[in-house]
């Protein structure tokens, strides 16, 4: 048995979610991404003397929405603390954060793994503000500072040490991104820094109930780096233990160029942040009414959609996953099914096939898809009721309807002459012509090579598939070939 197999990785995360507010956490500066440096600043974010912070209602509402989705407990009042440290991208000399009483306590987030959903426990979620950005590589003796990001509102989600591998961290971050987009509290762009995570990693022998000494790896801004850092830490820590050494509690930094980590500071050197209640913002009571009204506004959550699609409508796990991926897709599909009073399961199956195979590849995340759920439902009903042949519906009617979403489908069917034709004489004439045009193939078929029927079917459907059912065509073809 390989040495590493005896051990398991224990991982806890601190995920920073940048909120999609219009203004900063404690002042009115805009928060647009990519604005020119130091163009979104004010005396408050620059920490000029005498300025005072004011809370942003939307940051509080966003935190409550997230807490409701996670099933967290809320405190009776909202209060902030100061975290003191000195760095040039933090003009005040302290960060306004929540230390003693975070806005959300406890809760859990279900993550999707191969074997199904698993709940990851949340320790708490707190509100805070971001720091500015320092640029170190432009000048020899100086660093440049851009304070556009200083004061941008963040939520920090702190998990319990419930994750066991890089793949699970991946699944957790995917679930966070999906949830914040569903709740419309963040754009969830990892590459723009809207989601960042610090990873706490320790190892222990499998079956052990006590956690090992942990190391914190800071500021991993991509999933690839997070996975590499975890892999490296697992190897480094198990090797230390196998050699009879101890893992010491450290903050470590990740090196993207070779996938390794190195110590940044030890526990003894940990900064003393001297937290204390923010004197400039006295606590505000958190009204039950506010929580209730936000709960009323809350829509269906991703895993709730998934369960409905999978359990109630009988979709496969993969189809349910794809359709619940974004709120737009999930809403469209659910409304499509709910439009139909009967045959819901059949409509659901047809609808999911149409969306996944024919619509989503052309309109990813349904962006720019012009048909309303009622129209997609109508299209599925045309298919289920076999009003026109399937091929005609998918290849001709659907693209035509997408081009002219205002049209009436019945009129389109008539205009495009897609109506199923009941004239079997005409069908017989068309098929006879095809058979007569291929005497050699007919002879081979009659000689016993029955799979040549596929060849004739291909020819026939190209010619008459728009107007006739494949079953009908096949029946008549066999009759003509046998003759």
Positions in the binding site for other proteins (CB under 8 A): 21-23, 27-31, 36-44, 46, 48, 54-60, 86-88, 134-136, 139-147, 269, 271-272, 277, 279, 281-285
DSSP letter for 428, please: H
Q: For other proteins, give the closer residue by CB, 48 or 292.
A: 48
CB of 28 to other proteins, least distance (A): 4
Classify residue 337 as exposed, middle or buried by CB count within 10 Å of its CB (0-12, 13-18, 19+).
buried
CB of 177 to other proteins, least distance (A): 22
CB of 277 to other proteins, least distance (A): 5
Nearest to 132 by CA among 15, 31, 17: 31
CB of 331 to other proteins, least distance (A): 25
CB of 367 to other proteins, least distance (A): 26
Q: Which residues contact 436 (CB under 8 A, 6 or more apart)?
A: none
Is residue 144 a contact partner of residue 135, using CB atoms and an 8 Å limit? Answer: yes
CB of 38 to other proteins, least distance (A): 5
Q: For other proteins, give the closer residue by CB, 279 or 448.
A: 279
DSSP letter for 109, please: E
Q: For other proteins, give the closer residue by CB, 36 or 262.
A: 36
Residue 144's φ and ψ, nearest 5 degrees, are -105, 145
Handedness of CA 451, 453, 455, 458 (dihedral sign): negative
CB of 144 to other proteins, least distance (A): 4
Q: For other proteins, give the closer residue by CB, 11 or 27.
A: 27
Q: Is 432 helix (H, G, I), strand (E, B) or coil?
A: helix
Nearest to 4 by CA among 224, 236, 200: 236
Q: Is 151 helix (H, G, I), strand (E, B) or coil?
A: coil
Q: For other proteins, give the closer residue by CB, 60 or 477.
A: 60
Nearest to 336 by CA among 380, 373, 366, 369: 373
List of long-range contacts for 294-303, beta carbons under 8 Å, 24+ apart: 294/61, 294/64, 294/65, 294/68, 295/68, 298/65, 298/68, 298/69, 298/183, 299/182, 299/327, 300/330, 300/334, 301/69, 301/179, 301/182, 302/175, 302/178, 302/179, 302/182, 302/330, 303/110, 303/117
CB of 150 to other proteins, least distance (A): 11
CA dist 113 and 338 (Å) reads 29
Q: For other proteins, give the closer residue by CB, 59 or 459.
A: 59
CA dist 345 and 150 (Å) reads 51
Tokens standing for residue 7: 């051990």
Q: Which residues contact 262 (CB under 8 A, 6 or more apart)?
A: 252, 253, 255
CB of 198 to other proteins, least distance (A): 19
CB of 205 to other proteins, least distance (A): 36
Q: For other proteins, give the closer residue by CB, 87 or 211.
A: 87
Q: For other proteins, give the closer residue by CB, 137 or 191.
A: 137
CB of 258 to other proteins, least distance (A): 18
CB of 282 to other proteins, least distance (A): 5
Strands (E), 333-445: none
CA dist 174 and 450 (Å) reads 50
Q: For other proteins, give the closer residue by CB, 280 or 410.
A: 280
Nearest to 154 by CA among 74, 88, 80: 80
Tokens standing for residue 12: 């806890």
Q: For other proteins, give the closer residue by CB, 38 or 353.
A: 38
CA dist 62 and 39 (Å) reads 25
Q: For other proteins, give the closer residue by CB, 32 or 208.
A: 32
Q: For other proteins, give the closer residue by CB, 65 or 442.
A: 65
């Amino acid at each position: 048995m390989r040495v590493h197999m005896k051990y398991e990785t224990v991982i806890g995360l601190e995920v920073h979610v940048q909120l999609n507010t219009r203004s900063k956490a404690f002042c009115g500066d805009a928060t647009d991404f990519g604005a020119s440096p130091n163009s979104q600043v004010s005396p408050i974010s620059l920490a000029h003397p005498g300025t005072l912070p004011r809370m942003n209602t939307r940051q509080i509402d966003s935190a409550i929405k997230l807490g409701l989705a996670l099933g967290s407990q809320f405190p009776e009042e909202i209060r902030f603390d100061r975290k003191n440290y000195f760095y040039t991208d933090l003009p005040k000399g302290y960060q306004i954060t929540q230390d003693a009483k975070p806005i959300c306590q406890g809760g859990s987030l279900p993550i999707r793994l191969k074997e199904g959903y698993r709940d990851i426990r949340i320790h708490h979620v707190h509100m805070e503000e971001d720091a500015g950005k320092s640029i170190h590589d432009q000048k020899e003796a100086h660093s440049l500072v851009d304070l556009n990001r200083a004061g941008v509102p963040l939520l920090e989600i702190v998990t319990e040490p419930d994750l066991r591998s890089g793949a699970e961290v991946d699944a957790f971050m995917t679930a966070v991104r999906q949830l914040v987009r569903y709740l419309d509290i963040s754009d969830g762009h990892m590459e723009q820094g809207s989601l960042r995570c610090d990873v706490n990693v320790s190892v222990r022998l499998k079956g052990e109930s006590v956690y090992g000494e942990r190391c914190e790896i800071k500021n991993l801004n991509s999933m690839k780096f997070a996975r590499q850092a975890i892999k490296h830490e697992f190897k480094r820590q198990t090797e230390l233990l196998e050699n009879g050494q101890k893992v010491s509690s450290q903050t470590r930094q990740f090196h993207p160029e070779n996938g390794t980590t190195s110590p940044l500071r030890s526990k003894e050197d940990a900064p003393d942040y001297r937290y204390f209640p923010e004197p400039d913002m006295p606590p505000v009571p958190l009204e039950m009414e506010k929580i209730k009204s936000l709960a009323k506004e809350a829509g269906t959550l991703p895993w709730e959609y998934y369960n409905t699609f999978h359990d109630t409508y009988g979709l496969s796990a993969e189809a349910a996953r794809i359709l619940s991926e974004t709120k737009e897709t999930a809403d469209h599909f659910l409304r499509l099914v709910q439009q139909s009073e009967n045959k819901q399961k059949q409509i659901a199956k047809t609808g999911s096939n149409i969306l996944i195979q024919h619509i989503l590849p052309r309109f990813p995340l349904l962006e720019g898809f012009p048909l309303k759920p009622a129209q997609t439902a109508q299209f599925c009903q045309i298919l289920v009721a076999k009003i026109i042949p399937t091929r005609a519906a998918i290849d001709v009617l659907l693209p035509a309807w997408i081009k002219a979403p205002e049209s009436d489908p019945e009129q389109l069917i008539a205009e495009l002459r897609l109506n199923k034709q009941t004239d079997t004489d005409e069908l017989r004439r068309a098929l006879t012509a095809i058979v007569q045009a291929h005497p050699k193939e007919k002879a081979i078929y009659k000689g016993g090579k029955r799979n040549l029927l596929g060849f004739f079917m291909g020819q026939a459907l190209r010619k008459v598939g728009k107007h006739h059912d494949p079953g009908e065509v096949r029946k008549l073809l066999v009759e003509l070939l046998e003759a």
